[in-house]
Amino acid sequence: MQKLSSVEKEAISNATREAERRSYGEIVTVIAASSDAYHAVTLLWSTLVSLLVPAIFLMLDRLHLVTRTDISTVYNTQLIVFILLLMLLRIPSILRAILPATLRQLQVRRAAQMQFYTHQLQHTRHRCGILLYVSVLERRVELLADQGINDRVPPATWKTITDNFITRVRREEIKQGFVQAIEACGAVLAQHFPAEGANTNELADEVLEKN
C-alpha cells in the first residue's frame, strides 16, 4: 500500500478541519490497501491454469518436443505452477489486472459502506456526514454522503468530485486527491449547511489507514 507521510497526513487533516469550520458537515477520510483479499479469485486462476498442465504436456508430446512424461513429473509441475501463480497473483499490479471491473467496484463500495457505519457518520446532528474512501489496490474512490446532504445535493455533484479524485489516485497523487476532494466537499457543505453559532467537531479529522 502507498503509505502517506506525516506531512501528507497533516495536510489532509488541515483540509478537513478547514472544510468543517465553515459548515455543520463532518468529513471522514479513509485509505485502505485493498477492499478485499480476493482469495477466491487468486485460487480460481491458479487452479484453472495448473489444470492445463497435463494438456500442455500432451500437446508437446504429440509435437515431439518432449518424450513420454511420467505422472509424477506432470503432478509436480502442476503443483509448482499452482504455488507460483498464488504468489504472483498477490502482486498488486497483476492482481488488479485480473480482477473484473464490476467485482472491484462492488467490493470497494461494500467496504466503504462498512466504514461509513463503523465511524458513525449516520449519527451526526444534521445528518450531513461525508465519507471519502480510497482503496489503493483497486484504484477506486467512494464518496458516501448521509441523508441530510443527499436530500439537497444532486448525485452529479459527487460524481464530478469522485472522478477527479480517481484520476489523482491513478497518478499516485493520493494526498492531492484527498485535499482537492475535501475542499470541493467543504464548498458544498458550506452552501447547504453553513455554520451558525456553536459548531462542535463530532468526528475525527485525521485520515484513517486500513491495511
Exposure of 131 in the CB half-sphere (CA atoms within 13 A):
28
Neighbours of 112 (CB within 10 A): 22
Distance between CA atoms of residues 207 and 138, nearest Å: 19
Burial class (CB in 10 A: 0-12, 13-18, 19+), 62: exposed
Taking CA atoms, 162 is separated from 90, 143, 178, 184, in Å, by 27, 7, 10, 10
Residue extent(s) of CATH 3.10.310.50 domains in the chain: 6-36+100-210
pLDDT band at residue 80 under the 50/70/90 scheme: very high
- pTM across the whole model: 0.90
pLDDT tens-digit profile of 85-112? 999 999 999 999 999 999 999 999 999 9
Q: Give the tens place of pLDDT for each residue, 102-153.
A: 999 999 999 999 999 999 999 888 899 999 999 999 999 999 999 999 999 9
CATH topology of domain 6-36+100-210: Diaminopimelate Epimerase; Chain A, domain 1 (3.10.310)
Q: Is 73 a residue whose pLDDT tops 80?
A: yes
**What backbone torsions phi and psi does residue 174 show, to the nearest 5 degrees?**
-70, -45
Tell me the C-alpha distance between 14 and 10, whole Å.
6
d(CA 90, CA 125): 42
Q: Which helix (H) or strand (E) holds 141?
A: strand 140-145
What is the distance between the alpha carbons of residues 81 and 158, in angstroms, rounded to a whole number? 44
Whether the per-residue pLDDT at 200 is higher than 70: the answer is: yes
Taking alpha carbons only, the member of 32, 39, 54, 26 closest to residue 201 is 26
The C-alpha atoms of residue 149 and residue 170 are separated, in whole angstroms, by 28
* Residue 179 pLDDT greater than 80, yes or no: yes
Confidence of residue 65 (pLDDT cuts 50, 70, 90): confident
CB 193 within 8 A of CB 126: yes
Per-residue confidence at 59, pLDDT binned at 50, 70, 90? confident
Looking at 29-140, list the stretches that DSSP marks H as alpha helix, in order from N- to C-terminal side. 39-51, 53-62, 71-88, 92-98, 101-118
Mean of the pLDDT values across residues 159-175? 96
